[in-house]
């Protein structure tokens, strides 16, 4: 998986999955715009990548704000001259049972997870169509199939799958692919917050017997971003240790 000369944007790359993805892309030779809403985390991630001999630039922005999305693409083009890979990883959850779900919880999750991914994918589509190449990789979730307490999150992640498949159909002739990854249960700040009982229950459902790591997801992102994956398009790929078989 040689990504030498490729330029990537990874959203939500200040910590967790996004950080692991950014590090892996950089390790494979990509120049990475490390984007996050938390500036110091984006800077720390870029610093760590550079310390490992990689190339990265921190960018602070909110994927749910159109002007920040445009600025992220401009940062990539101004710094590295083009954009080849977009990884839409930024995401949040605000869980509640449906009958208790507040409008604020619904709107906030849809704004970041779905509208943010739409803004990024639309901008990528415009630029990659012109370029005649590109890779868009959207981080969905196995919760897209429905999960108790996550009607907002599940709806946003199911929306990402519809968006991914449509982008794949529309962009295929321009040599641009768009795929989605559904991580299972990955150890990050998002999942470390769950009660111990829930943690144990989740692990008991995983044939691999362990939570995944950001690197497990980063490995697949790097492959999908590579030239070798040019004939894989519109797919939903799980990285879950075999959680659903």
Q: Rounded to 5 degrees, what are φ and ψ at 175?
A: 60, 30
d(CA 100, CA 5): 49
CB of 227 to ligand NAI, least distance (A): 25
DSSP state of 83: -
CB 21 within 8 Å of CB 218: yes
Question: Would you count residue 191 as binding ligand NAI (CB under 6 A)?
Answer: yes
Residues 115-134 within binding reach of ligand NAI (CB under 6 A): 116
Instruction: Tell me if residue 231 is catalytic.
Output: no
Check residue 15 for interaction with ligand NAI (CB under 6 A): yes
16, 54, 134, 241: residue in contact with ligand NAI (rule CB under 6 A): 16
> Which is nearer to ligand NAI, 80 or 144 (by Cβ)?
144
Rule CB under 6 A: is residue 92 a binding residue for ligand NAI?
yes
- In sequence order, the 6+-apart residues with CB closer than 8 A to the CB of 102 are 96
Give the other-Cβ count within 10 Å of 68's Cβ.
Answer: 18
Between CA 165 and CA 106, with CA 150 as vertex, the angle to 5 degrees is 85
Identify which of residues 8 and 64 has a Cβ nearer to ligand NAI in the complex.
Answer: 64
Stretch that binds ligand NAI, among 23-31, 48-56, 59-67, 120-128 (CB under 6 A): 59-67
Residue 233 binds to ligand NAI (criterion: CB under 6 A): no
Q: Is residue 96 within 8 Å of residue 105, measured between CB atoms?
A: yes
Distance CA 69, CA 116 (A): 8
The catalytic site residues sit at 153
Footprint of ligand NAI (CB under 6 A): 11-12, 14-18, 36-38, 41, 62-64, 89-92, 112, 116, 139, 141, 183, 185-186, 188-191
């Amino acid at each position: 998986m040689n990504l030498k000369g490729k330029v990537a944007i990874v959203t939500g790359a200040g910590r967790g999955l996004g950080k692991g993805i950014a590090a892996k892309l950089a390790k494979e030779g990509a120049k990475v715009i490390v984007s996050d809403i938390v500036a110091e985390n984006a800077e720390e991630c870029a610093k760590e990548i550079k310390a490992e001999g990689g190339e990265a630039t921190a960018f602070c922005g909110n994927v749910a704000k159109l002007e920040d999305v445009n600025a992220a693409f401009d940062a990539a083009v101004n710094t590295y001259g083009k954009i080849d890979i977009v990884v839409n990883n930024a995401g949040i959850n605000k869980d509640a049972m449906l009958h208790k779900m507040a409008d604020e919880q619904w709107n906030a999750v849809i704004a970041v997870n779905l509208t943010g991914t739409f803004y990024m994918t639309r901008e990528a589509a415009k630029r990659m169509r012109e370029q005649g190449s590109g890779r868009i990789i959207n981080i969905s979730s196995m919760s897209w199939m429905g999960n108790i307490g996550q009607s907002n999150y599940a709806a946003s992640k199911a929306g990402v799958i519809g968006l991914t498949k449509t982008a794949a159909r529309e962009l295929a002739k321009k040599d641009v692919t768009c795929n989605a990854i559904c991580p299972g249960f990955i150890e990050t700040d998002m999942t470390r917050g769950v009660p111990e009982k829930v943690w144990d229950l989740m692990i008991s459902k995983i044939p691999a017997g362990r939570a995944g790591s950001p690197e497990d997801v980063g490995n697949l992102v790097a492959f999908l971003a590579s030239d070798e994956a040019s004939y894989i398009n519109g797919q939903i790929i799980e990285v879950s240790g075999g959680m659903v078989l």
